[in-house]
A and B are shown apart, each in its own frame.
Chain A
Amino acid sequence: MSDNENTQATPDRDLIESVWAEARDLIKRLEGSTVQRFAVAAGDYKIEIERGSPPAAQGMPGTAPHPPPPHLSPSGPVATGAGPGMSIAPGARMASGVFTIGDLEADNRVPVLAPLVGTFYSAAQPGAKPFVEVGSSVEPGQAVCIVEAMKMMNEVAAGEGGKVAEILVENGEWVEFEQVLMYLEPADD
């Protein structure tokens, strides 16, 4: 994905360091789980982790072709540096198209994705109270926002219950298919 961006930027060293620290943390959490492939996107950056050796034909169509990581241990993933199994890619379009989640048990942030191309609205009507704000608690299936396409209001529901951790798009902003709209932090129990 990184090679098809029209605007390339070089991530700065500090940012790489902090993303990498987060990635190490994530990899640790994946130990013992059945997660094969894992990707998170936040703002302009993405972390993609692939474990095991998937057959050549496997993998989500459209995701960047990453060769399987060369450093594997039978007991789980081992952080060995930014090998080909992991990529940190800058780019404005990163939030969409590459988002694949194998299993979310290891991460406590759940993305809410745009189900279609349209305009994001945080409230049911202009001036009305937003469906949710950062910190709001949501029930599974609760409407968290609207994506409007061709005058059709499509409510977007939370897949599971929890707290709204972050909202990534502005009210009235156009969103693409599967763009991450917000993150939820599932309830702990």
Chain B
Amino acid sequence: MFEKVLIANRGEIALRVARACRELGIKSVAIYSTADAESAVVRFADEAVHVGPHHPGKSYLHIPNVIGAAQKTGADAIHPGYGFLSEDPFFAEICSDNGITFIGPRPDVMEKVGDKAIARDLMQKAGLPLLPGTIEPVQTAEEAQEIADGIGYPVIIKAVAGGGGRGMNVVRRAEDLVRLYQTTRATAQAVFKDSAVYIERYLEAPRHTEVQLVCDSHGKGVYFFERDCSVQRRHQKLIEEAPSIHLTDEQRRDIGERAVAGALAVGYTGAGTMEFLLDHQGNLSFMEMNARIQVEHPVSEMVTSVDLIQEQIRVAAGEPLSVSQEDIVLRGHAIECRVNAEDPDRDFAPAAGRLDVYVPPGGPWTRVDSHCYPGWNIAPFYDSLIATLIVWAPTRLEAIERMDRALSEFQIEGRGVKTTIPFHRRVLADEQFRSGDVTTDFVEHFLAAEALAAT
């Protein structure tokens, strides 16, 4: 096992990782930018190293300083958290060149799963279901037209290198195809420096369903069932839950097994997520793989009683998984709300500032993962996440009631500070949300209906 782990991140995830280290008896090293000198993880960790000014490119993303901090403190591993350097194969390679274990998949594997075209190809070969579409990038407009006509409209044209909702266009009519094909290629070239695109069937209102898995370096992998993350706005998730109420037990096992088989087939090690779209006929289609731990991992922890970060650290240290698939039993229902410093009434504009009042909720089966405390300044140059609030209950409806109770307790005040708490409470009260019939266009319709009711 590692002696000392450096956490190359900030905010709630840095603290989350440091907590896991402490419980495992591993020393932790925080790194911080000038803006984060007073952060919770700097206080909590065993050591802390100042790695640069507030600008992420000069601190959390500055590879020489991050590696230097690990060498200075004698850390034998680096946990990248999510975002920042977590999916940078180059960084993972530099870690290994310097004799430091990167807590994540091997650089070559990370590179493969990060390329959407390669990942689609590999996962299809490994037996994962895909939407009808191309595996190889489309070369000409004529070819694109032929393929799209074959799939049937609507189709979506996606940049191979795209992500985060950028570099994709939906085509609803055959006559728009050539124009949008060219537009997407041009955008892809401009934004991602790679004009390659592929085409697949477009699902109008799918559910976002993702499978959590962890693989060790001994050829073993396990799945921690699925999460439903359909409550999202512009591809940013707002509410996540586990399990999905739309899968049968048989489907759940089947997709879990296939996801693990796919991950093992590409030599994946560590914690990862396979994203799928679920259509109204109950068909799951592979979308992409995320080679990192995710913000919403706690909901899976709550329904399986396994600490995923600890498991991730264990397998990175070369140890076998501490649990077998039979040990992982799904129990009850968990919901997570992302409490962000954003103003839902002003199109979710960032509303950062100093937290004069910060009183997190408590009570049974209520978990708050947060780096905040009274007086902490939510800085405008980092993400706006204040806390992830997670509750567990035996059933989904009880979990909704518990979440609303917890949100009602959560007090956050500060000059200029607004949060997504009121938005979450309105969603929890919504009949459609409570029924569970939520698709990825839910938030859009919900906000439009609210706006209409207000006039």
A residues whose Cβ falls under 8 Å from a Cβ of B: 1, 4, 6, 56, 60-65, 93, 96-98, 116-118, 149-150, 152, 174-179
Contacts and interface: CB of A to CB of B under 8 A. Distances in A.
Contacts of B48: 93
Given A116-B68, A174-B72, A63 B37 contact: yes
Interface of B: 32-38, 42-43, 46-54, 59, 62-69, 71-72, 94, 98, 375, 377, 379, 415
B69 A117 contact: yes
A65 B375 contact: yes
A61 B379 contact: yes
Secondary structure of the B contact surface, majority rule:
mixed
B37 A97 contact: yes
Contacts, number: 85
B68 A150 contact: yes
Contacts of A118: 64-65, 68
Contact of A176 (B63, B72, B98, B377): B72
B50 A97 contact: yes
Q: Which 6 A-B pairs have the closest CB atoms?
A: A117-B68, A174-B72, A61-B35, A62-B34, A62-B37, A117-B65
A177 B375 contact: no
B51 A177 contact: yes
Nearest to B72: A174
B255 to A, nearest CB: 42
A117 B54 contact: no
A126 to B, nearest CB: 18
Contact of A149 (B50, B54, B65): B65
A98 B37 CA distance: 8
B34 to A, nearest CB: 4
27 contacts: A4-B37, A4-B42, A60-B34, A61-B34, A62-B32, A62-B35, A62-B37, A65-B377, A96-B50, A97-B32, A97-B34, A98-B37, A116-B65, A117-B51, A117-B64, A117-B68, A117-B69, A118-B65, A150-B94, A150-B98, A152-B64, A174-B68, A174-B72, A176-B49, A176-B50, A177-B59, A178-B34
Contacts of A177: 34, 50-53, 59, 65
Contacts of A152: 64
Contact of B36 (A62, A98, A116): A62
Given A56-B415, A62-B54, A98-B37, 17 more contacts: A6-B47, A61-B377, A61-B379, A65-B377, A93-B50, A97-B32, A97-B34, A97-B37, A117-B50, A118-B68, A149-B65, A149-B67, A174-B68, A174-B72, A176-B51, A177-B52, A177-B53
A179 B51 CA distance: 10
A178 to B, nearest CB: 7
Contacts of B49: 117, 176
